[in-house]
């Protein structure tokens, strides 16, 4: 695993064939080869909104509810 700083308070945790993106300490997006990017809708504030735009280029119509992202993360992290 490798933690990469992308911007102030925006980090990417790289794992085998996946990555999890964090705004502050909150997971806000993920990537894996099967699903591609899964990005949460912004339910926090302006700074996290900027972080989301860095990740997906501002494609807000593609974003999912945060609980859906967490479900995919749980599946990714517990996959055998």
pLDDT surpassing 60 at residue 80: no
What pLDDT, on a 0 to 100 scale, did the predictor assign at position 15? 92
Report pTM.
0.93
Residues 6+ apart with CB under 8 A from 19: 12, 13, 30, 31, 32
Task: Give tens-digit pLDDT for 4-50.
Answer: 999 999 999 999 889 999 999 999 999 999 999 999 999 999 999 99
3-class state of residue 55 by DSSP: helix
What pLDDT, on a 0 to 100 scale, did the predictor assign at position 16? 85
What pLDDT, on a 0 to 100 scale, did the predictor assign at position 77? 81
What pLDDT, on a 0 to 100 scale, did the predictor assign at position 50? 97
Can you tell me the mean pLDDT for 63-69?
Answer: 98
């Amino acid at each position: 695993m490798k933690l990469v700083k992308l911007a102030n308070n925006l980090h990417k945790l790289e794992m085998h064939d996946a990555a999890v993106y964090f705004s502050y300490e909150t997971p806000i997006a993920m990537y894996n080869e099967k699903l591609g990017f899964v990005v949460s809708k912004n339910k926090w504030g302006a700074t996290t909104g900027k972080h989301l735009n860095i990740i997906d280029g501002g494609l807000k119509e593609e974003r999912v509810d945060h609980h859906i992202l967490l479900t995919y993360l749980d599946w990714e992290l517990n996959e055998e």
